[in-house]
Amino acid sequence: MNMVFQINGRDVGIEVSDSELLLDTLRHIGFSSVREGCGVGACGSCTVLVDGKSVSSCLVLTSRCNGSSILTSEGLADDDPVVSQFIKNGAAQCGYCIPGFVMMVSELLSENPIPTEQEIYNHLEGNICRCGSYPEIVQAAMDASKAKQTSKLTC
List 68, 71, 86, 144, residue binding other proteins (CB under 8 A) = 86
- If binding is defined by CB under 8 A, does position 136 make contact with other proteins? yes
Asked if 81 is part of the footprint of other proteins (rule: CB under 8 A), the reply reads no
Check residue 64 and report its DSSP letter: G
Residues 47 and 58: their CA atoms lie apart, in Å, by: 8
Nearer to other proteins, 80 or 149 (CB): 80
By the rule CB under 8 A, 36 interacts with other proteins = yes
Q: Is 70 in the site for other proteins (CB under 8 A)?
A: no
Stretch that binds other proteins, among 33-41, 62-70, 108-116, 147-155 (CB under 8 A): 33-41
Which residue lies nearer to other proteins by CB, 119 or 149?
A: 119
Binds other proteins (CB under 8 A): choice among 72, 106, 139, 145: 72
Interacting residues of 78 by C-beta distance below 8 A, sequence separation 6+: none
119 binds other proteins (CB under 8 A): no
Q: 5 or 31: whose CB is closer to other proteins?
A: 31
Per-residue burial over 24-36, b if 16 or more Cβ lie within 10 Å, else e, is bbbbeeebebbbe
Query: Treating both helix axes as pointing N-terminal to C-terminal, what angle do 117-124 and 98-111 enclose, rounded to 10 degrees?
Result: 130
Q: Of the candidates 25, 45, 54, 62, which one interacts with other proteins according to CB under 8 A?
A: 45
# residues near other proteins by CB under 8 A: 49
Q: Distance between CA 154 and CA 23 in Å, rounded?
A: 38
117: left (phi over 0), alpha (psi -120 to 50) or beta: alpha
Note whether 151 and 81 are within 8 A (CB).
Answer: yes
Is 14 a binding residue for other proteins by CB under 8 A? The answer is: no
